[in-house]
Amino acid sequence: MTTAAPAPTHAHRPVPGGPALAAVFKAEGRLFLREPGSLFWMIGFPTALLVILGLIPSFREANPDLGGRRVIDLYVPIAVLLGMIMASIQAMPPVLTSYRERGILRRLSTTPVRPPAILGAQIALHGIAMIVSSLLAITVGRLAFGVALPFAQPGYILSMLLMIACALALGATLSAVAATTKAATAIGSVAFLVMMFTSGVWMPVQTMPDLLQTIVSLTPFGAASQALDRAMLGSWPEWQHLGIMVLWAAGLTGAASRWFRWE
């Protein structure tokens, strides 16, 4: 560097917007790819679970209790939701919390780029991971077990996008309320078990007793599970389930932006 040019102090120097934000996204993307463990749980694990379940012969047989569908048919949307749970609850909160804890946000506040840029990049990257994870589960489900592709169903796509919004807002809220990275991981683990249950990983929501099914349907992943299932059957998801997802996404986004502590 040379002697600082005596810039006229009142000259308007616009903040570099696009290029700087793109650079932040690119840098965070590279860091994202340097976490193989986290990538496995978000993208590899849901499909691996699907394959393991698909290897159980009875899961590939038509089940009259499920209206002639196979268990594996139910598990593709569950694998899609599992990827979202992994990314939003297990992976994202510790990253965002550590950025606050390590003073990365603080350092960024002294530059022309504000901290929301880096948080936004991380949230977007986790959203992309959710989409990749979903596509992988759907593709493997089709190729290995002949589970119908859902892409012709606009209701499926809509439910998936709403659920991604919900999951990201949930992860952001956890990052907001957790004071430390350790706390984020701990809260994440508890939330993880709840979300696994409501999304039907252990017991597909369709097979739960009526009362439990009603309660679970009020949770974001429970509603999503029902909506995806309905869409898979070729009908439009119930408005009630879409509405529940919209409410959760909006409420959690509000909570995250209200409670997020920058330091």
Partner 1 sequence: MPQNTPLVEVRDLRKSYTGRTVVDGVSFSVEEGEIFGILGPNGAGKTTTVECVSGLRTPDSGTVRVAGLDPVADHDRTTHLLGAQLQESDLQPKILVREALELYASFYKNPADWQHLAERLCLTQKLTTRFAKLSGGQKQRLSIALALVGNPRVVVLDELTTGLDPRARRDTWKLIEDVRNQGVTVLLVTHFMEEAQRLCDRIAVIDKGRVAALDTPSGLIGSSAGSTVITFTPSRPLDPAHLSGLPEVASVDRRGEQLTITGTDATVNAVITLLAQHRITARQLRVTDATLDDAFLDLTEATAPTAPTAGKAA
Report, in Å, the least distance between residue 107 CB and partner 1.
4
Q: Where are the beta strands (DSSP E) in the chain?
A: none
What residues contact residue 183 under an 8 Å CB cut-off, 6+ apart?
97
At closest approach, how far in Å is the CB of 257 from partner 1?
Answer: 19
Q: How many residues does the chain have?
A: 263
- Rank residues 30 and 258 by Cβ distance to partner 1 and give the closer one: 30
Instruction: Say how far apart CA 66 and CA 54 lie, in whole Å.
Output: 16
Cβ proximity to partner 1, 114 vs 142, nearer residue: 114
**Integer Cα distance of 218 and 53 in angstroms:** 27
Residues forming contacts to partner 1 in the complex (CB under 8 A) are 1-7, 9-10, 12-16, 19-20, 23-24, 27, 30-31, 34-35, 99, 102-104, 106-107, 109-113
How far, in Å, CA of 170 to CA of 130, rounded?
14
Rounded to a whole number of angstroms, the minimum distance from the CB of residue 17 to partner 1 is 11
Closest approach of Cβ 12 to partner 1, in Å? 8
Tell me the C-alpha distance between 87 and 159, whole Å.
Answer: 17
Please, which residue, 9 or 58, has the CB nearer to partner 1?
A: 9
Q: Which is nearer to partner 1, 2 or 58 (CB)?
A: 2
Range 3-9 contact pairs with CB under 8 angstroms and sequence separation of 24 or more: none
